[in-house]
């Protein structure tokens, strides 16, 4: 026996729970306020309890309503995502790429524009997430990720192994002489910590050890970021030195937004990889992207080696 309440009533409840106003709910759904009230009453009758209560001129969710709305909202979000997935599936010439958020914003996105200009018929979906693609999730053609603990199947290739170097805004050291790497420790230090998802990149103490610098000053870190892109932006804004990946700051260095006074770098423990669905090569545009991304990786490795010494 089907015990689910009417879908329309659930949709009205989901919308009303988000905007908490009958008139606004009616506007969003294109119905009358009276129709909203009728659907809510039908839902409450169906579940056998009050889900909404008046508080002055506004409505609020009851305790039971809040619990029920959280589940309803999650269900409707899943339906919306499924619809978006179906819409993308209609596109015969589409490319879905998943990447770590900072890799996407600081490395892939600035490059993908040029690739799309060469392939204007391709619709590209970019997904920035730390989560690896799931067989039960959205269809992803390619994934750019980090670390050695990946599936050892043949559907992966190394892109590049990054290095970290100290970088800052030119304004931070304007007029100052940095004669020795240790002079960096006289400035605010910005740190990056990826734990627990990944092993963190080399720390300031690691960099001090490589450059024969007393690491006492490295303990003065005041800001720690979980996203490399946020730490890099803080450095661009003049907040301090960041120990940044060369792949993510090459464009900022070239544009003069960042400087690297001492280029001796520390190599990351693991490389970046691109992985792909086995079926991706059934499509010519996916094969073209695969060739292009591997070329980008080789070029980035050359930049890393040049910029980080």
**pLDDT tens across 244-295, in order?**
999 999 889 989 999 999 888 898 888 999 999 888 888 889 999 999 999 9
Domain that holds residue 143: 91-159+271-307
Number of domains in the chain: 3
Is 209 contained in some domain? yes
Count of CB atoms situated within 10 Å of the CB of 238: 14
Is 2 contained in some domain? no
Angle 217-219-221 (CA atoms, 0-180°, nearest 5)?
Answer: 105
Instruction: List the CATH number of the domain containing 263.
Output: 3.40.190.10
Residue 269 is classified by DSSP as: S
Q: Cα dist. 271→216, 275, 293 in Å?
A: 29, 13, 15
Instruction: List the CATH number of the domain containing 20.
Output: 1.10.10.10
Of the pLDDT bands very low, low, confident and very high (cuts 50, 70, 90), residue 1 is very low
Instruction: Note the pTM of the prediction, 2 decimals.
Output: 0.63
116 and 192 inside one domain: no
**pLDDT tens across 145-178, in order?**
988 655 555 688 999 999 999 999 999 998 787 8
**pLDDT tens across 20-68, in order?**
788 888 888 889 988 988 988 998 888 888 988 887 767 788 888 889 8
* Average of per-residue pLDDT values in the chain: 85
75 and 106 inside one domain: no
CB 51 within 8 A of CB 13: yes
Which helix (H) or strand (E) covers residue 234, if one does?
A: helix 228-236
**pLDDT tens across 59-104, in order?**
788 888 889 888 888 888 888 888 777 666 555 578 999 999 999 9
Q: Residue 212: left if φ>0, alpha if ψ -120 to 50, beta else—which one?
A: left
Residue 168: per-residue pLDDT:
95
Which helix (H) or strand (E) covers residue 27, if one does?
A: helix 22-29
103 and 239 inside one domain: no
Is 243 contained in some domain? yes
**Three-state SS at 130:** coil
**Three-state SS at 66:** helix
Is 301 contained in some domain? yes
Rounded Cα gap, residues 194 and 229, in angstroms: 12
Give the CB-side neighbour count of residue 92, counting CA atoms within 13 A. 1
> What are the beta bridge partners of residue 275?
143, 156
Choosing from 58, 86, 114, the residue where a domain stops is 86
């Amino acid at each position: 026996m089907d015990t689910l309440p009417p879908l329309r009533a659930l949709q009205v409840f989901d919308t009303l729970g988000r905007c908490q106003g009958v008139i606004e709910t009616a506007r969003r759904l294109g119905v009358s306020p009276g129709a909203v009230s009728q659907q809510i009453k039908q839902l409450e009758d169906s579940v056998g309890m009050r889900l909404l209560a008046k508080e002055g001129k506004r409505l609020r969710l009851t305790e039971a309503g809040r619990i029920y709305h959280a589940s309803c909202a999650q269900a409707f979000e899943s339906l919306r995502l499924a619809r978006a997935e179906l819409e993308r599936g209609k596109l015969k010439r589409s490319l879905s790429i998943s990447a770590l958020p900072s890799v996407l914003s600081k490395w892939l996105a600035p490059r993908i524009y040029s690739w799309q200009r060469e392939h204007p018929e391709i619709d590209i979906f970019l997904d920035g997430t730390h989560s690896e693609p799931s067989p039960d999730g959205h269809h992803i053609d390619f994934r750019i990720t980090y670390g050695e603990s990946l599936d050892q199947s043949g559907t992966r290739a190394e892109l590049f192994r990054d290095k970290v170097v100290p970088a800052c805004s030119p304004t931070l050291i304007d007029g100052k002489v940095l004669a020795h790497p240790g002079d960096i420790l006289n400035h605010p230090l910005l740190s990056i910590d990826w734990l627990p998802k990944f092993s963190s990149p080399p720390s300031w103490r690691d960099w001090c050890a490589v450059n024969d610098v007393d690491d006492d000053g490295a303990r003065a870190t005041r800001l720690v970021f979980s996203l490399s892109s946020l730490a890099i932006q803080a450095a661009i804004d003049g907040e301090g030195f960041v120990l940044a990946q060369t792949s993510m700051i090459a464009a900022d260095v070239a544009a003069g937004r960042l400087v690297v006074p001492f280029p001796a770098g520390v190599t990351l423990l693991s490389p970046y990889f691109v992985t792909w669905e086995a079926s991706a090569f059934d499509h010519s545009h996916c094969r073209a992207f695969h060739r292009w991304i591997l070329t980008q990786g080789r070029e980035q490795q050359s930049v890393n080696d040049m910029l980080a010494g």
